[in-house]
């Protein structure tokens, strides 16, 4: 289970996920500087940490690295939700409480997701009873 990203890690990963292409430290720095004062070395350190933690892979291009996300934000969010759910002593109650917090739009997204999962991974049909019903002796 991944640990939740820190604030700056999340800000960096948000850009990597949104841009969905290999990015440089300089590109991320310039975008982050529109919101806050931050040093190149700080962004470089965060991106190196994300690489060490397995969130991004990197390839050398000239004198710089290009970083690419290893997984999607959706996969990250799902892993966090799964971990929180798995730690509950009553998973059914946790789901009921979670669903109760959802907005109508979130519930519609949940219904869409359930339809997709059921379509792509249908449950096996229950075993059929032998002809003549259970316990019927055959001559």
Supply the DSSP string of 50-114, one letter for each residue: HHHTTSEEEEEETTEEEEEESS-HHHHHHHHHHHHHHT-SSHHHHHHHHHHH--HHHHHHHHHHH
Query: How many beta carbons lie within 10 A of that of residue 22, not counting itself?
Result: 17
pTM: 0.72
Q: What is the pLDDT of residues 6-25, one digit of tens each?
A: 999 999 999 999 999 999 99
Q: What is the pLDDT of residues 46-96, one digit of tens each?
A: 999 999 999 999 999 999 999 999 999 999 999 888 888 888 999 899 889
Q: List Cβ neighbours of 91 (8 Å cut-off, separation of 6 or more).
A: 85
| Of 138 and 77, more confident | 77
| Of 134 and 108, more confident | 108
- By mean pLDDT, which of 64-73, 101-110, 119-128 is the weakest? 119-128
């Amino acid at each position: 289970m991944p640990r939740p990203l820190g604030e700056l890690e999340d800000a960096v990963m948000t850009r990597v996920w949104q841009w969905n292409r290999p990015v440089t430290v300089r590109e991320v720095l310039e975008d982050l500087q529109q919101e806050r004062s931050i040093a190149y070395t700080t962004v470089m350190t965060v991106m190196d940490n994300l690489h060490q933690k397995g969130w991004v892979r990197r390839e050398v291009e000239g004198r710089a690295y290009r970083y690419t996300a290893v997984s999607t934000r959706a996969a990250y969010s799902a892993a966090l939700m799964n971990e929180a759910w798995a730690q509950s002593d009553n998973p059914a109650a946790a789901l009921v409480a979670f669903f109760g917090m959802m907005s109508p739009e979130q519930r519609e997204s949940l219904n869409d997701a359930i339809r997709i999962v059921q379509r792509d991974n249908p449950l096996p049909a229950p075993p059929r009873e032998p002809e003549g019903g259970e316990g019927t002796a055959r001559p």
